[in-house]
Structure 1
Amino acid sequence: MKFEDIKLSPNIMSGLQDVNYTELTELQEKALPKILEGSDALIKAAPGKSKNATFVIPALAKIDGKEEVEGTTTLILTPNSDEAQQIDELVWAAGYHAQVECASIDLDGSEEEQKASLNDAPQVIVANPGPLLSVMQDLRFIFRHIDYLVIDELDKLASLNLIPKVKNILKRVLSEHQTLIFTSELTDEVEAFAKDNLEDGIAIGFDENGVPPMLDKPPTVPQDISQGYIYVPNRMKITTLMAHIEESPNERAIIFTASKRGTDRLYKVLRKNNFKSTSLHDKLSDEKRAQRFANFTNGDVQFLLVGDLSATTMDIDNVKQVINYDVPEDPDEYRYRANLVSRGKASRIVSLVSKQDRNDINKLESELGQSPKELDLPEKVQQKLEERRKKKKESNNRRNGNKQKKQQQKKKKKEMELPRPSYEKLSGGKTGGDKKKDKKSGVIDMLKNLFS
């Protein structure tokens, strides 16, 4: 694909010829059309000229297309001075015919020159975050006209601990703008930053589909499905699940658990009760995962058990029921799960709420537009719960009866004991005395009694 195949002004085409750019690279073929349309984007790209041209060309095209340019409209943040200077040179060379002015505020420049460059308000500023933030703070400077923002090599900025400075710079950009983020790899920090700073963003270069789920805004919960939750009695979660699915025996359902261990346990229970099921978890190979998913979508099994995987990884929308065996902590995950359900009041998402899940369901109720409603315990569970209460009551009665019986036996035994003689009736009394004195005293008393 050649640059003539995309719509660029004569000034920009002349500039590209000056720098010997004639054909688009693979990266540019994927990215330029989307960028020129004005989309926010997260783009995977290795450092080099191809990457730099991918964001410089749209910047020049945007500036050249304006009748009047007021102040700095393009800001490019990059981690090191060499990269900043290379980008600056490319902007000057390719933007020569469009009369685009550019300044570099980097680690190699003097502070006074950088302050002068910022105050001169060139159309493009290429900067390292540290020096730019320092100058902006000293001058109390605010960008009011930025409409095109590039954050280059975000993964490297993160590794250099420059993300906080980037965020502080962005707080001083007050205008609406298109945002492009370039990175060599997708780390957790890059993903979180992109999610916070891209509006309706797309991703380029990460997978065949082009748009990874992390950039998708979570969907709203469909208004035409039923939402409910069941408060589960202590140690009766599996019993409650089985009673619930037995009340709708022919429905296909996806059951989400928090771990592989949870799916393994439920698989054994379902198989024991003659229900066909299969499981997905992050330990499976791609081939096995695809096969098991196909078994469910083809109707070969009734229940798909999902452990420790997000609903965003599943492309299905025709199940009648989603069951949260474990309530998700993230409301967005709940929304994604709800969107797996077919539309209509006959379809539903049901959560089993144990004592440990109360905080999670309260959080869902506060954040969702349409709150789930509490459902009655299945009749079978109510019966078992009543049986449990009766057994507990009988056990308590037996325990209390045995306790009373023991107390009665103890009392009866005490009543049957012979009275013990007091010290006064014993020979010698309380003070005792020697054996000789006791014997003499006893004979005299006997004689007195005999002749009385």
Structure 2
Amino acid sequence: MTFDSLNLIEPISKAIKEEGYVTPTPIQAEAIPEVLMGKDLLGCAQTGTGKTAAFSIPILQILTNNPGITGRRRPIRSLIVTPTRELAIQIDESIRTYGRHTKLTSAVIFGGVNQNSQVNILRNGVDILVATPGRLLDLMNQKLVSIRDIEIFVLDEADRMLDMGFIHDIKKLLAVLPSNKQSLFFSATMPPAIVKLSAGILRNPVKVEVTPVSSTADTINQSIYFVDKPNKITLLMDILKDKKIKTALVFTRTKHGADKVVRVLQKNKIKAEAIHGNKSQNARQNALSNFKDQSTRVLVATDIAARGIDVDNLQHVINYDLPNIPESYVHRIGRTGRAGLMVPPFLFATQRKKPI
């Protein structure tokens, strides 16, 4: 199957070809036709498999084929809710990429920054809004955003929403959204709590599940190092002596741990930056930008950033600390192995025995 076989309209097809994409991923091939038919959808696919395009492409086509109200006061027609600022920005970038030849507009709103610039964009009217729950509810309470005209609603990374405690915020949004909307529900994992939540959102949904729950992508080669805790940082620096490792994404369990690793790496003349919840939005975006252009070699992150980091050709992910649950490991290493790239993440396992 190719994108040409999905009957996409010319403006979207043109943008896809300009990006060099020919063959849709499994989640895209299965989800796009169903969404274009107006069906509710329950999508389960591991991170890095192309879920964003699986919903953004058909949303752009549906809204283009069915023009709404034009002018400055046109209502928001599609709402995409996602748990983190990084992921919200990434989704908005994808929508702008695939929709650049359409007349549709989009905006992204998230907390941690002054709301004024976001509000000014919304006042001009946007067709598609990407939002994190907290900032969205805040602006709704201020009467600066209305979601009563939403035609297509997307809840992305639903399992992460629950992990981060957003379940009550999601329920508040659902109470305001119109009942006759099309709903798309995407999650990397499907534990019972997620299945229950989806049942309250979707109507006779089509289920698209392209990988087993909590599985890792076949394109990822995995290695494990057994090392006692005091020697972890020494092992990390030894690994980074390999000049073939142009960039590496390192995951720690805590914010303090991330900052500590960065300090040691910088002291040993390895350019590193941290990205976690205590960093300002500008600091996080600058660190990510520096990592993408390879001016920063090592980006040290906590799990809050695991699903919002999208870096082309990222070849190395290092789990400095073991994650607490299997799904976190899947999300972490899913930052690499994207678009079919074969890559090797490392896992550091702590034990009392002599390191090997």
TM-score bracket for this pair, using the shorter chain length: 0.5 to 0.7
- Quick check: 1:71 aligned with 2:71? no
Give me the whole-angstrom Cα distance separating, in 1, the residues matched to 2:187 and 2:37: 21
Contact 1:71 1:122 in 2 (8 A): yes
Task: After TM superposition, list the pairs within 5 Å mapping 1:108-119 onto structure 2.
Answer: 108-119=112-123
**Deviation, structure 1 residue 120:** 2.9
Contact 2:40 2:205 in 1 (8 A): yes
CA shift in 2, pair 1:20/1:107, >3 Å: farther
Name 1:4's counterpart in structure 2. 4
Which letter maps to 1:33? P
Deviations 1:203-257 (A, max 9, x none): 110789xxxxxxxxxxxxxxxxxxxxxxxxxxxxxxxxxxxxxxxxxxxxxxxxx
Contact 2:107 2:130 in 1 (8 A): yes
Name 2:163's counterpart in structure 1. 159
Give me the whole-angstrom Cα distance separating, in 1, the residues matched to 2:204 and 2:88: 28
Give me the whole-angstrom Cα distance separating, in 2, the residues matched to 1:26 and 1:90: 18
Which letter maps to 1:3? F
The Cα RMSD (Å) is 1.9
Identity of aligned residues (%): 27
Name 2:141's counterpart in structure 1. 137
Give me the whole-angstrom Cα distance separating, in 1, the residues matched to 2:12 and 2:109: 24
Contact 2:77 2:127 in 1 (8 A): yes
CA shift in 2, pair 1:113/1:35, >3 Å: same
Name 2:52's counterpart in structure 1. 52
Task: After TM superposition, list the pairs within 5 Å mapping 1:80-95 onto structure 2.
Answer: 80-95=84-99
Which letter maps to 2:163? S
Give the secondary-structure state (helix, strand or coil) at the position aligned to 1:139. Answer: coil
CA shift in 2, pair 1:117/1:189, >3 Å: farther
Which letter maps to 2:126? P
Deviations 1:231-286 (A, max 9, x none): xxxxxxxxxxxxxxxxxxxxxxxxxxxxxxxxxxxxxxxxxxxxxxxxxxxxxxxx
**Deviation, structure 1 residue 100:** 1.7
Give the secondary-structure state (helix, strand or coil) at the position aligned to 1:180. Answer: strand
Contact 1:80 1:107 in 2 (8 A): no
Task: After TM superposition, list the pairs within 5 Å mapping 1:235-250 onto structure 2.
Answer: none
Give me the whole-angstrom Cα distance separating, in 2, the residues matched to 1:94 and 1:140: 27
Name 1:125's counterpart in structure 2. 129
Give me the whole-angstrom Cα distance separating, in 2, the residues matched to 1:100 and 1:182: 23
Task: After TM superposition, list the pairs within 5 Å mapping 1:154-233 onto structure 2.
Answer: 154-174=158-178, 176-205=180-209
Q: 2:103 aligns with which of 94, 99, 102?
A: 99
CA shift in 2, pair 1:122/1:65, >3 Å: same
Give the secondary-structure state (helix, strand or coil) at the position aligned to 1:83. Answer: helix
Task: After TM superposition, list the pairs within 5 Å mapping 1:296-311 onto structure 2.
Answer: none
Any unmatched runs of 5+ in structure 2? 213-356
More helix by share: 1
Give me the whole-angstrom Cα distance separating, in 2, the residues matched to 1:183 and 1:14: 29
Which letter maps to 2:197? F
TM-score, with normalisation over the residues of structure 2? 0.55
Which letter maps to 2:50? S
Deviations 1:44-81 (A, max 9, x none): 02223611100100111011112444421110001101
Name 1:29's counterpart in structure 2. 29
**More divergent stretch after superposition (37-46 vs 60-69):** 60-69
Give me the whole-angstrom Cα distance separating, in 2, the residues matched to 1:66 and 1:41: 20
Which letter maps to 1:20? G
Give me the whole-angstrom Cα distance separating, in 2, the residues matched to 1:48 and 1:125: 22
Name 2:154's counterpart in structure 1. 150
The answer to which structure, 1 or 2, has the higher relative contact order (CA under 8 A, 6+ apart) is 2
CA shift in 2, pair 1:207/1:79, >3 Å: closer
Please identify runs of 4+ aligned residues in structure 1 that moved more than 4 A: none
- Quick check: 1:41 aligned with 2:41? yes
Q: Work out which of the two has the higher radius of gyration on C-alpha atoms and give 1 or 2.
A: 1
Contact 1:103 1:117 in 2 (8 A): yes
CA shift in 2, pair 1:200/1:73, >3 Å: same
Give me the whole-angstrom Cα distance separating, in 1, the residues matched to 2:172 and 2:164: 16
Which letter maps to 2:147? F
Contact 1:142 1:172 in 2 (8 A): no
Deviations 1:267-324 (A, max 9, x none): xxxxxxxxxxxxxxxxxxxxxxxxxxxxxxxxxxxxxxxxxxxxxxxxxxxxxxxxxx
Give me the whole-angstrom Cα distance separating, in 2, the residues matched to 1:73 and 1:50: 23
